[in-house]
Amino acid sequence: MIEKIKALLEEVSNFTTESMDEVEAFRIRMLSKKGEIPSLFKDFKSVDPSERKEVGRQLNILKQKATERLSSLKTRLEEEALAKKLEGRKPDTTMPAGFNPIGGRHPLSVVRNRINSIFERIGFVISEGPEIEDDWHNFSALNFPEEHPARDMQDTFFVSKDPDIALRTHTSSVQVRVMETQKPPIRTISPGRVFRNEAISARAHCIFHQVEGLYIDQGVSFADMKQCLLYFAREMFGKDTRIRLRPSFFPFTEPSAEMDVSCNICGGPGCPICKYSGWIEVMGCGMVDPNVLENCGIDSKKYSGYAFGMGIERIAMNIYQIKDLRMFFENDLRFLRQFKSAI
């Protein structure tokens, strides 16, 4: 039996062909039910027990080699046949291209990019800073009195007490850093994520995004600020947009104002979006308080400036008529896909 196995092994390793039919014939002769190898397995019963171990081993090797040989020949022949079929064929450039679904930008990024580019066009430079801030940059340098309610745990997420380290509550902190390190004229906007300890609702979230602006030079006036913000409002909401400034208060600006834009939906007479007032509140602004300039090492006798700050979510809600702010943070694809074409 050993002899027979050896002979077949040799045959298997020498076997080669260019024809698929011969491969099949060889398979039938060797491995089919009544083929050489299964017959040997059948005869195995009659092998002398002392030889069984060795014969069994050789038999298994034979079966494995035959299977491998057949499958490698088959693969080679199939590949050659395919290559032959494709030979001389040119790619068909008229075939429709494969469809690759593309992603889209998040609506908050779309609106932030638009705000940035509107200000960049008139010379503002983007500056960024840390989201975890110390008390000085977020509050003290900005003229917040020691007992100001914003410093309360209720409004601010503190990371540590003494030293006071907190998640920044506005990106005005970045502007302090800019004033400390640069000399006027300064023209900068700081987009970024901010954090406030607020209950989450359709109109408020504990994380949101701002763009704040700062302009400092000699002889900067409230009228300059008004003109700059009118330009912004018209670029952002449409060329017929009007603005109005209402007196307000911020510790870091004096005088301070709240800016409204005429409702871009109804144009003024009133609708559900502007709650029938004709106006939509978009940002806080004002002339930088001289104390803030001095805190940052800028001579307040020589220089003056204005600052403004807006929430990106609020503007995006207005532009796209989104009723619930939470949608920006839920990553629901049905919502996000609607902004696919926005850039």
Binding site for ligand PHE (CB under 6 A): 170, 172, 212, 250, 253, 284-286, 307-309
Q: Tell the smallest beta-carbon distance from residue 295 to ligand PHE (Å).
A: 15
Q: Which is nearer to ligand PHE, 155 or 294 (CB)?
A: 155
Q: Tell the smallest beta-carbon distance from residue 155 to ligand PHE (Å).
A: 11
Q: Which is nearer to ligand PHE, 38 or 255 (CB)?
A: 255
Specify which residues 260 forms β-bridges with: 244, 281
Q: Tell the smallest beta-carbon distance from residue 226 to ligand PHE (Å).
A: 14
Q: Tell the smallest beta-carbon distance from residue 252 to ligand PHE (Å).
A: 6
Q: Which is nearer to ligand PHE, 133 or 212 (CB)?
A: 212
Q: Tell the smallest beta-carbon distance from residue 169 to ligand PHE (Å).
A: 7
Q: Which is nearer to ligand PHE, 253 or 264 (CB)?
A: 253
Distance CA 212, CA 228 (A): 13
Q: Which is nearer to ligand PHE, 70 or 307 (CB)?
A: 307
- Residue ranges of alpha helices (H) inside 44-140 are 49-86, 107-120, 135-138
Of 242, 244, 217, 258, whose CA–CA distance to 123 is shortest? 217
- 175: tokens are 């502007």
Q: For 18, which DSSP code? A: S
Q: Tell the smallest beta-carbon distance from residue 253 to ligand PHE (Å).
A: 5
Of 53, 59, 312, whose CA–CA distance to 205 is shortest? 312
Q: Tell the smallest beta-carbon distance from residue 228 to ligand PHE (Å).
A: 13
Contact of 287 with 132, CB cutoff 8 Å? no
Long-range contacts of 335-339 (CB under 8 A, 24+ apart): 336/104, 336/106, 336/107, 337/104, 339/104, 339/105, 339/106, 339/107, 339/110
DSSP assignment of 125-139 equals EE----SEEEHHHHT
User: Residues near 325 by Cβ (< 8 Å), separated by ≥ 6?
Assistant: 201, 202, 203, 204, 205, 208, 313, 317
| Residue position matching structure tokens 């994380």 | 207
- 277: tokens are 């007032």
Distance CA 339, CA 70 (A): 56
Q: Tell the smallest beta-carbon distance from residue 320 to ligand PHE (Å).
A: 22
Q: Tell the smallest beta-carbon distance from residue 101 to ligand PHE (Å).
A: 38
First-to-final CA distance of the chain: 78
Q: Counting beta carbons within 10 angstroms of the beta carbon of residue 127, is it exposed (0 to 12), middle (13 to 18) or buried (19 or more)?
A: buried
